[in-house]
Structures are given as C-alpha cells and as structure tokens.
Amino acid sequence: MGYCSFLAAFVFVLTISVWTNYVNGKLVQNGCDIFQGSWVLDNSYPIYESLQCPFIERQFDCRKNGRPDKEYSKYRWQPSGCKLPRFNGVEFLKKLKGKRLIFVGDSLSLNQWQSLTCMLHVALPQAKYISRTVNGLSNFTFPDYDASILFYRNAFLVDIVSEARGRVLKLDSISTSKIWGGMDVLIFDSWHWWLHTGRKQPWDWIVDGNTTVKDMDRLTAYEKALNTWAKWIDSNVDPTKTQVFFQGVSPDHASGQGSNAKNCVGQTQPLKRPGSPLPAEEVLEKILRGMGKPVYLLNVTTLSQLRIDGHPSVYGHGGHRDMDCSHWCLSGVPDTWNEFLSALLT
C-alpha cells in the first residue's frame, strides 16, 4: 500500500483487491466513483432481518416497533459504472483477525456499529460472541477470530469537562484519545449534537484557547473541534499500522431536506434527488483535504439524503411522542455504509 502527500490538497492512493484507488474521498474503479449512483430494489436484500439480530436496540428496530412496510430494507446501492461487492462477513473478520476496530462518535456511530455487529452475527450465526459495556465503552468480540468491534460515545470528539462554573466544552482538548488511540481501525463521526440548544445542549461554556464564551456559531465550533482532532491524527497515527475513517455527515430529514415532504413520517420510497449540500459535510471535507495523514471518508451524505424512507419516524423507541427522522432503521441504510467500509478495509 502506498501513500502520496501533496502540500495543498491531500491525495492518497490505495490499491486493494477490488478497487483501483481511493482519491480525495472518492472510491474509484476505472474512473467510477463508488459513492455516485442510485438506489435499486433488490429482493435478495436485506443482508439480515432484524429478527435475526437479538441484541438490536429498540430505537433502530422499526419492524419490531410496528412498521408495516418492508421495501425500505430492500434497496441496494448501485454505483454508476461499477459494482459494490455484497458484504461478506467471513472475509470481513479475516481482515480484522487479531485487530480492534472502534467507532467513536454520537448515536449515528452507534447506528453503524449496531448494523455491523448484526451483519457479522447473521453471517456467522454459530460463531461465539461476547458483548459487554464497561465505563461507556461497548465491545463486541468474536473470540475465534480475536476480533473486536467497539463503540465509544463521544459526540464532539473533543472534551467536555465539569468545573465549578459548569460544563465546559474545550475545543482544543482531546483527552479521550487515550481510549481509542491504540486501536487498529478508527471510525469517527460528529455533527448532530453540535446543533442542540436548550436542555439538550450539554455544555454551559465553550473554551477555545484563551477565550471563553457562552456560545458561538455552531459550524465554527465544529470546525475548530475537527482541527483539534485532525492535529491529533497527524501527530499520533502511523498509517502503516492504523487505518482511519470518518463517517460522512448523516442527513436529517426532519424538515424534508429540500423535498416536498414535511418530514420522514409515512415515507416509503427514496427521493429522486438529494437535497442541498450540507455545510457541515463541506467543512469536514475541507479539513480532511488539509491533513497530512490518510483518512478515508465514507462519503455517504448525498446517497443517504435520498433515503427519506429509511428513518424510524414513529417506529423508533418513542413512537408518535418522539418522531425520529435522524437515525436509521436496521436493517437499512447503515448496512450500505458498512459495505463501503468492508470494501475499504485492508
């Protein structure tokens, strides 16, 4: 595997068994960008049924929560001009043998982690697994492969600490890296919690260097935090030993995302066109381009914008009292994210 760095725009080329190369967030095979394409109905999907996954969390189990339609789980991503390989759980665990993979982020990371553990469990139903959570770190292990798939909730990647004056969001501090710093595969995610205000806002103060404020533009704060994260990656990650991914910003369809729909409730088919580009995704891509170490962007934003039908809506954990147009039903859209992950994992 060879990496090439340029000064202004970071470009790296990865040779793997299926794809010719990976350049600037595009997984390319003979000129085909794997993230560009369309959703097609495929009756050989889903890869698993939620009933086959005994540990799936209620908030993602739309079928168990009463969702009557099934087509949302039967869409397959079809790139324009090439093919995305169907997920192979045995091959995935062979790649991960003797390694630890961790998702770090918010509940969208949890969504993808749960998807992957279900995909693997159903692919190897007789394989022993151990699932435990200790001090906020969830660990799903396959002992026969000495492989661990972990999840650590840190919605901002940077630190929130309790002080006498209240809860402080520190944009220039990333001490939780001690939890995920020694892993073999890192998959990060952040954005949705940056938008919370009022009772859901988890801080009272924001510290940026020597400056302390009650609040600031959330996109600006997000960019500052990502810069802190990027500096840590550039200073501490050895790309010959550790593979780093970033989950693209997952779209929220609470307001229709540019469609004529008021929100995701009652939606049973994908949209024909994605919504407008998400500013947070543009910030993320700018940060990644400026980095000196390779980070693989799971560029799922635009293709997920089409899937207004894939959210729990009233079939999440809260029902009609807490409509969910942010997370995704399982089985469903995050399974495709993990097919991208599988194609990129070395």
Active site residues: 107, 324, 327
Longest dimension (CA), the chain: 58
CB neighbour class for 260 (10 Å; exposed up to 12, middle 13-18, buried from 19): exposed
**Which residues on neighbouring strands pair with residue 162, listed in sequence order?**
167
Q: Half-sphere exposure of 160 toward its Cβ, with a 13 Å CA cutoff?
A: 14
Query: Can you tell me the distance from the alpha carbon of 63 to that of 69, in angstroms, rounded to the nearest whole number?
Result: 8
Structure tokens at 95: 């790649």
* CA 243 vs CA 1, 131, 257: distances in Å: 12, 23, 32
Structure tokens at 83: 């093919």
Do residues 296 and 311 touch, judged by C-beta distance below 8 A? no
Q: Give the Cα-Cα-Cα angle 145, 149, 153 (nearest 5 degrees).
A: 165
Structure tokens at 318: 């809260």
Alpha helices for the chain (secondary structure H): 89-96, 107-123, 177-180, 218-236, 279-289, 301-305, 333-344
User: Tokens 């560009």, residue?
Assistant: 36
Query: Can you tell me the distance from the alpha carbon of 123 to that of 102, in angstroms, rounded to the nearest whole number?
Result: 20
CB neighbour class for 322 (10 Å; exposed up to 12, middle 13-18, buried from 19): exposed
- Work out the end-to-end distance of the chain between its first and last CA atoms, rounded to an integer number of angstroms: 9
Residues 6+ apart with CB under 8 A from 198: none
Query: Can you tell me the distance from the alpha carbon of 194 to that of 88, in angstroms, rounded to the nearest whole number?
Result: 35
- Could you give phi then psi for residue 39, rounded to 5 degrees? -90, 130
